[in-house]
A and B are shown apart, each in its own frame.
Chain A
Amino acid sequence: MWQSLVQSTQESTQASRFIVIAVALDQPEAARPWIEAAAPTYPCLIDRDHRVAELYALVNVPQAVWIDEAGRMVRPPETVGSTDGFRRMDRKTFAMPAEAVAERQRVKERYFAAVKDWAERGAASPHVLDAAGVAQRLRVPDAKVAEAHARFRLAQALQREGRGDEARAQFDTATRLHPDSWAMWRQSAAKNERGLASGPEFWARVDALGDRPYYPPTEITEMSAPEGGSGPAD
């Protein structure tokens, strides 16, 4: 999952200065095989009620927040290296056009380079935003979204008590109130044999976005110097 990011930052940053905290917006038993396969060296937390999604106004995964040493957000929740290229996937063969694959790789590398730069340089990184920059980019909830989170939490509690029909009714109301939240919708949607909520209903909902993004792009300025090219030893 994030181990490659952790390893690449550990090459150049003291381990004590930077940490990844991965939060699974997920049921513990669904997350378990992924975590065990990753053998992570960083905390992997389980958030089955999507509490962090409510606190930070997250709507999808993967989204990340950068938090400085004083506990302030220096980048608000943003898409982590994912693109809408998957929407061009052939839905029978699952093949993606080569240029979409290349674009996704480029976006991911650019984002991870920015994270690494911040891990190394902290507030000196050009990618750190000031308070106004964070505030401007922050998503804030309205009353419908607040109610959606309460209903989602109720739905998860009902599901755990085996009250599937009542849970379904609450999930449906929650996703109607907060249509932007893919996390709520996919958590509660029917899953395939691999645990993915990627059936026809998912694609219909994606298509209904029209020109709106599934993964809003993250604005990261290109690094002007090559990595490692401006260190004191050079």
Chain B
Amino acid sequence: MIRILHDANDTSLPTARANGDALWVDRPDVERATGWAWKPEGLCRDDTCMPLPRQAEPPITDGDRLDVAALWRHAGWPVVHDDAARIWVLGEGASQRAEALATGEAPDFELPDLDGRMHRLSDYRGRRVFLVSWASW
């Protein structure tokens, strides 16, 4: 079982396979693990598609499996893992984050309160929101 952490998601995949820096994910699992759908034109999300690098060596696809770690590195996004724990993090790229912030829109998120109830920032649309960070440390 490999756990893939991406965005707000924590996906456990029994058939994913790690091999060094490669992380092979089966086609049906790619979207829920990565947020990108694997289509003939490439990896697609919302209105954007990224073509897969066809000449990659080693190859980024193997039949119906995709090396998502190679894809991430090809895109310039961070991918880190711990082999003993079998946990991989597919991180957000700096330029993606910078572009999102440049729109001036407050990034949406969903977090729990102490009772475990989930709150989205967008639940409070229509009000002036003072969003403040704090910590016990």
Q: Does A21 interact with chain B (Cβ within 8 Å)?
A: yes
B132 pairs with A63, CB closer than 8 A: yes
Q: Does A113 interact with chain B (Cβ within 8 Å)?
A: no
B119 pairs with A119, CB closer than 8 A: no
User: How far apart are the CA atoms of A1 and B133 in the complex, in Å?
Assistant: 11
Contact mask for chain B residues 116-137; partner A; CB cutoff 8 A; 1 contact, 0 none: 0001011011111111111111
Q: Does A107 interact with chain B (Cβ within 8 Å)?
A: no
A44 pairs with B114, CB closer than 8 A: yes
User: How far apart are the CA atoms of A44 and B106 in the complex, in Å?
Assistant: 18
**Selected contact of A64 from candidates B79, B122, B133, B137, CB within 8 Å:** B133
Stretch binding the partner chain, chosen from B11-19, B46-54, B55-63, B84-92: B84-92
> B126's closest neighbor in chain A, by CB?
A69
B111 pairs with A163, CB closer than 8 A: no
A166 pairs with B82, CB closer than 8 A: yes
B127 pairs with A31, CB closer than 8 A: no
> A59's closest neighbor in chain B, by CB?
B133
A69 pairs with B113, CB closer than 8 A: no
A71 pairs with B94, CB closer than 8 A: no
A144 to chain B minimum Cβ distance, whole angstroms, is 8
Contact mask for chain A residues 17-36; partner B; CB cutoff 8 A; 1 contact, 0 none: 11111111110101111111
- Most interface-central of A19, A170, A186 (chain B CB within 10 A): A19
Total number of residue pairs linking A and B with CB closer than 8 Å: 224
A67 pairs with B112, CB closer than 8 A: no
> B118's closest neighbor in chain A, by CB?
A45
B134 to chain A minimum Cβ distance, whole angstroms, is 5
A1 pairs with B134, CB closer than 8 A: yes
Q: Does A89 interact with chain B (Cβ within 8 Å)?
A: no
Q: Does A179 interact with chain B (Cβ within 8 Å)?
A: no
- For A166, what are the chain B residues with a Cβ–Cβ distance below 8 Å? 82, 84-85
A110 to chain B minimum Cβ distance, whole angstroms, is 15
- For B131, what are the chain A residues with a Cβ–Cβ distance below 8 Å? 21, 23, 52, 56, 64-67
A66 pairs with B128, CB closer than 8 A: yes
B104 pairs with A73, CB closer than 8 A: yes
Q: Does A100 interact with chain B (Cβ within 8 Å)?
A: no
**Selected contact of B101 from candidates A16, A57, A183, CB within 8 Å:** A57
Contact mask for chain A residues 192-229; partner B; CB cutoff 8 A; 1 contact, 0 none: 00011100000000000000000000000000000000
User: How far apart are the CA atoms of A158 and B84 in the complex, in Å?
Assistant: 10
B124 pairs with A21, CB closer than 8 A: yes
User: How far apart are the CA atoms of A161 and B78 in the complex, in Å?
Assistant: 22
A/B interface sample: 15 pairs, CB < 8 A: A1-B134, A18-B127, A18-B129, A21-B119, A34-B136, A45-B113, A51-B109, A56-B107, A60-B133, A65-B131, A66-B131, A71-B108, A140-B98, A157-B3, A170-B82
Given contacts A43-B113, A57-B97, A66-B129, 18 further A-B contacts (CB under 8 A): A18-B129, A19-B127, A55-B97, A56-B107, A64-B130, A69-B128, A71-B105, A73-B105, A119-B128, A138-B102, A142-B94, A146-B97, A149-B92, A150-B91, A158-B87, A163-B85, A196-B136, A197-B137
Q: Which 6 A-B pairs have the closest CB atoms?
A: A150-B91, A45-B111, A147-B78, A64-B132, A55-B107, A146-B94
